[in-house]
């Protein structure tokens, strides 16, 4: 079944922004051959205080042999992001349209924000930032839960040309401190705390630790603005709210949370709602240059030191807007939901910037898929009549475990497009998503991209692309992928190799903050003339691209190059397996061998028979050389809070090395000990 081709639903294709492969091919060709004309036409939909000129629209150097790498779009133009996302939409008569529905951790907590109100809150908070001395170019760190003040804070930065650096609310104080020091943040914005399921996270306390660490290293963050989020849960009728909020029946949501005590430094800390009371409701936008920095977002690097990926203004705007429109086939009136946390790039581009640039209505969800019950996602889709639903394979697999009864309890008939991001989606999960969530009538957009790419780069278009489960299919407009072999030779036709890009598209990163050298060596030194993704991919006989996973997750068993993802996909096809993670383990004869961690489905046992069946399956599906040496029981996997499996830790467990390093970013640190205990004795 996995080899079958799934055509777009003709009903959807009929009215889609891109209706056929012919249309896709001709648009793609134009975007590559005439980038100025293609993107220039799109740029006309936005407001430019100063226009760009045609000869300066696009310039770049991708080849270290020719000098330093640079990428510039729309040089000479000036604009303002918040103006394009808010003022423009309000002026067009969409002031009363809902920008965001907010769904809290507790189903009784919800609210909404119109474009008009979002503009007002943004201006007010921009004025608060100004009162704290924030100016154009200053960095503002943001460490917040998924609440409406988070997009408000980001947009307020863009209003005055400040550069935001959002740090995911699940990071430790060390990680937050490291990032604030690297970008020399002037202000930190946070909340008192948040509930994730039944777990209480006291964010302000983590910030206090981080701020102390930063100070000890000689940098001082001048102000910390705190949203009283827990307080308003405890006191729903208080005046601490962004948006028109209904919440906390009798003020006892989350089982009767009472006001938490928050430590305070009077010289540094202030409450968001108190500052907002005095703030002026309008703020003239600061016009910034097309290539002025918009935000920094840190992503992990192979050396351990995080990389501050830098995105700029004009190119990011047009790319976020265009990918959102075409990849989700968003139409006015649709309600869209992306489950990603805003603390990751997916949240930046596809919760905040892409949707607002299209005047979309979307859902922001604070909670987890499992609270209060394992059907929370399905109930939220039903509640808001969601049309486009964008989530991650790891979430799909963890929900598949509970079977399809929970899905059937809810009306999901409004869904048109399903999206997947973050890792290769195995065909089992794809088919479950397609059949049980999408009822066989939705397109699945398996979107390949990275923090560095700013937006989707390889993806199907829902009305055009015939889908193959597990393939991200074809490049988006402006993107020119190639596969290279070890020696940097371009692989034509069918084959497998390093996934690289030959040309910049508007939304790609421009540098690593404060370290252009590292930017050049990380992405442009391995193969001169190309941006190197660090991922492997293969092209099949029909030209479809299949991203096989990070090259660092590639392994070489007896001279055979293979990807861990490939093996994982076979393991998870077994009916008793919920999830798996494969790492390489050094082997005296083969060089490397496969060490597999397997999580059985609820109610299934991890037996010798299962291990044998899995080994046989891998042998059958990939080849005898791929037979795993070890299959270990894993009741859970070490994952970050965003759901990424930390293979670094699994590799340590595989070789029995207790020296696993920093585990503070794990959702559940306890799992590491459990996995060590379950290691099979050699």
Q: What residues line the site for ligand WTA (CB under 6 A)?
A: 299, 344-346, 421-424, 446-451, 472, 533-535, 547, 549-550
- Supply the minimum distance, in Å, between the C-beta of residue 351 and ligand WTA: 12
- Supply the minimum distance, in Å, between the C-beta of residue 518 and ligand WTA: 16
Query: Any idea what the Cα angle at residue 78 is, between residues 73 and 84, rounded to 5°?
Result: 95
- Supply the minimum distance, in Å, between the C-beta of residue 535 and ligand WTA: 5
Sign (positive/negative) of CA torsion 371, 375, 377, 383?
Answer: negative
Distances (CA, A) of 200 to 105, 177, 258, 260, 402: 11, 21, 12, 10, 25
**Please, which residues have CB within 8 angstroms of residue 113's CB and are 6 or more apart in sequence?**
98, 99, 100, 102, 121, 148, 242, 243, 244
Tokens representing 10 are 């003709």
- Do 144 and 154 touch, CB atoms closer than 8 A? no
Rounded to an integer, what distance in angstroms lies between the CA atom of residue 147 and that of residue 274?
18
CB-wise, 211 or 565, nearer to ligand WTA?
Answer: 565
Q: How many Cβ atoms sit within 10 Å of the Cβ of residue 98?
A: 18
The sheet that has 417-420: what strands, in order across it? 244-246, 110-114, 98-103, 361-365, 335-338, 388-391, 417-420, 443-446
CB-wise, 210 or 547, nearer to ligand WTA?
Answer: 547
Rounded to an integer, what distance in angstroms lies between the CA atom of residue 461 and that of residue 20?
9
CB-wise, 443 or 451, nearer to ligand WTA?
Answer: 451
Rounded to an integer, what distance in angstroms lies between the CA atom of residue 338 and that of residue 320?
14
- Do 515 and 543 touch, CB atoms closer than 8 A? no
CB-wise, 106 or 568, nearer to ligand WTA?
Answer: 568
Phi, psi for 403 (deg, rounded to 5): 80, 180
Rounded to an integer, what distance in angstroms lies between the CA atom of residue 539 and that of residue 496?
6
CB-wise, 377 or 448, nearer to ligand WTA?
Answer: 448
Residue 118: strand, helix, or coil: helix
- Supply the minimum distance, in Å, between the C-beta of residue 422 and ligand WTA: 5
Q: Let me know how long the chain is.
A: 682
Rounded to an integer, what distance in angstroms lies between the CA atom of residue 478 and that of residue 457?
9
Phi, psi for 595 (deg, rounded to 5): -120, 115
- Supply the minimum distance, in Å, between the C-beta of residue 550 and ligand WTA: 5
C-alpha closest to that of 596 among 613, 588, 604: 613
- Supply the minimum distance, in Å, between the C-beta of residue 207 and ligand WTA: 23
CB-wise, 138 or 496, nearer to ligand WTA?
Answer: 496
Query: Any idea what the Cα angle at residue 652 is, between residues 647 and 658, rounded to 5°?
Result: 135
Buried b (16+ CB within 10 A) or exposed e, 309-337: bbbbbbbbbbbbbbbbbbbbbbeeebbbb
- Supply the minimum distance, in Å, between the C-beta of residue 458 and ligand WTA: 8
CB-wise, 262 or 545, nearer to ligand WTA?
Answer: 545
- Supply the minimum distance, in Å, between the C-beta of residue 445 and ligand WTA: 9
- Supply the minimum distance, in Å, between the C-beta of residue 18 and ligand WTA: 19
CB-wise, 156 or 421, nearer to ligand WTA?
Answer: 421
CB-wise, 226 or 570, nearer to ligand WTA?
Answer: 570
Rounded to an integer, what distance in angstroms lies between the CA atom of residue 325 and that of residue 321?
6
CB-wise, 262 or 457, nearer to ligand WTA?
Answer: 457
- Supply the minimum distance, in Å, between the C-beta of residue 579 and ligand WTA: 16
- Supply the minimum distance, in Å, between the C-beta of residue 344 and ligand WTA: 6
- Supply the minimum distance, in Å, between the C-beta of residue 70 and ligand WTA: 22
- Supply the minimum distance, in Å, between the C-beta of residue 626 and ligand WTA: 20
CB-wise, 313 or 453, nearer to ligand WTA?
Answer: 453
Residue whose pair of structure tokens reads 């003022």 in the numeric block: 87
User: Angle at which helices 35-43 and 21-33 pack, to 10 degrees?
Assistant: 110
Distances (CA, A) of 493 to 29, 468, 538, 543, 668: 18, 18, 10, 7, 43
CB-wise, 51 or 543, nearer to ligand WTA?
Answer: 543
**Please, which residues have CB within 8 angstroms of residue 411's CB and are 6 or more apart in sequence?**
382
C-alpha closest to that of 421 among 384, 389, 382: 389
CB-wise, 163 or 458, nearer to ligand WTA?
Answer: 458
CB-wise, 185 or 345, nearer to ligand WTA?
Answer: 345
CB-wise, 111 or 391, nearer to ligand WTA?
Answer: 391
Tell me whether residue 541 is exposed, middle or buried, using C-beta atoms within 10 angstroms of its C-beta: 0 to 12, 13 to 18, 19 or more. Answer: exposed
Beta-bridged to residue 596, according to DSSP, are: 582, 631
- Supply the minimum distance, in Å, between the C-beta of residue 643 and ligand WTA: 10
- Supply the minimum distance, in Å, between the C-beta of residue 499 and ligand WTA: 9
Distances (CA, A) of 469 to 382, 402, 410: 25, 21, 25
Q: Give the nearest residue (CB) to ligand WTA.
A: 451
Sign (positive/negative) of CA torsion 648, 654, 660, 664?
Answer: positive
CB-wise, 628 or 643, nearer to ligand WTA?
Answer: 643
- Do 187 and 275 touch, CB atoms closer than 8 A? no
- Supply the minimum distance, in Å, between the C-beta of residue 355 and ligand WTA: 16
Rounded to an integer, what distance in angstroms lies between the CA atom of residue 678 and that of residue 682?
12
């Amino acid at each position: 079944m996995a080899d079958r081709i799934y055509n777009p639903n003709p009903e959807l294709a009929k009215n889609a922004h891109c209706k056929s492969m012919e249309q896709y091919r001709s648009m793609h060709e134009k975007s590559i051959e005439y980038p100025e004309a293609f993107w220039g036409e799109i740029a006309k939909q936005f407001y430019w205080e100063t226009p760009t000129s045609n000869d300066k629209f696009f310039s770049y150097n991708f080849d270290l042999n020719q000098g330093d790498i640079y990428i510039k779009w729309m040089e000479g133009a000036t604009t303002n992001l918040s103006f394009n996302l808010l003022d423009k939409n309000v002026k067009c008569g969409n002031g009363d349209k809902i920008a965001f529905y907010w769904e809290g951790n507790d189903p009784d907590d919800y609210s909404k924000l119109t474009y008009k109100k979002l503009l007002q809150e943004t201006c007010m908070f921009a004025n608060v930032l100004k009162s704290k001395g924030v100016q154009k170019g200053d960095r503002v760190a943001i460490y917040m839960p998924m609440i409406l003040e988070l997009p408000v804070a980001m947009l307020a930065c863009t209003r005055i040309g400040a550069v935001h650096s959002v740090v995911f609310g699940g990071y430790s104080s060390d990680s937050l401190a490291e990032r604030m020091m690297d970008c020399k943040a002037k202000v930190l914005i946070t909340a008192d705390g948040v509930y994730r399921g039944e777990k209480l996270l006291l964010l302000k306390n983590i910030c206090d630790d981080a701020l102390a660490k930063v100070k000890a290293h000689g940098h001082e963050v001048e102000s910390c603005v705190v949203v009283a989020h827990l307080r308003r849960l405890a006191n729903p009728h208080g005046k601490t709210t962004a948006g028109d909020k209904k919440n906390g029946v009798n003020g006892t949501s989350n089982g009767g949370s009472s006001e938490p005590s928050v430590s305070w430094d009077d010289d540094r800390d202030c409450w968001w709602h108190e500052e907002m009371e005095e703030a002026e409701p309008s703020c003239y936008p600061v016009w910034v240059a097309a290539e002025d920095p918009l935000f920094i977002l840190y992503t992990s690097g192979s050396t351990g030191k995080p990389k501050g990926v830098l995105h700029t203004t004009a190119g990011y705007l047009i790319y976020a807007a265009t990918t959102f429109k075409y990849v989700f086939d968003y139409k006015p009136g649709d309600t869209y939901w992306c489950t990603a946390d805003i603390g990751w790039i997916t949240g930046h581009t596809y919760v905040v910037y892409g949707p607002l640039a299209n005047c979309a209505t979307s859902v922001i969800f604070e909670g987890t898929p499992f609270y209060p019950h394992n059907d929370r996602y399905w109930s939220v889709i039903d509640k808001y009549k969601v049309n486009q639903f964008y989530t991650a394979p790891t979430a799909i697999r963890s929900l598949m475990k509970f079977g399809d009864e929970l899905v059937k309890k809810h009306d999901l008939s409004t869904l048109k497009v399903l999206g997947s991001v973050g890792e290769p989606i195995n065909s089992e999960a794809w088919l479950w998503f397609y059949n049980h969530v999408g009822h066989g009538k939705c397109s699945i957009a398996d979107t390949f991209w990275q923090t560095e790419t700013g937006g989707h780069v390889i993806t199907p278009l829902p009305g055009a692309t015939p889908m193959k489960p597990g393939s991200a299919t074809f490049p988006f407009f402006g993107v020119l992928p190639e596969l290279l072999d070890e020696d940097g030779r371009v692989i034509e036709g069918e084959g497998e190799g390093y996934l690289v890009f030959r040309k910049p598209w508007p939304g790609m990163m421009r540098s690593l903050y404060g370290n252009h050298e590292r930017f050049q060596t990380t992405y442009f030194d391995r193969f001169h003339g190309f941006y190197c993704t660090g991922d492997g991919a293969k092209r099949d006989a029909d030209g479809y691209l299949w991203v096989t996973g990070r090259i660092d997750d590639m392994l070489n068993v007896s001279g055979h190059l293979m990807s861990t993802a490939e093996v994982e996909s076979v393991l998870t096809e077994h009916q008793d397996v919920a999830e798996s993670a494969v790492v390489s383990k050094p082997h005296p004869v083969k060089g490397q061998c496969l060490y597999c961690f397997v999580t059985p489905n609820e109610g299934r046992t991890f037996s010798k028979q299962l291990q044998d069946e899995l080994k046989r399956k891998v042998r059958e599906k990939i080849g005898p050389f791929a037979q795993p040496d070890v299959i270990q029981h894993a009741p859970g996997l070490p994952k970050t809070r965003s759901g990424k499996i930390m293979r670094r830790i699994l590799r340590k467990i595989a070789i029995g090395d207790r020296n696993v390093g920093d585990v503070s970013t794990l959702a559940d640190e306890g799992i590491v000990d459990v996995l060590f205990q379950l290691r099979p004795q050699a």
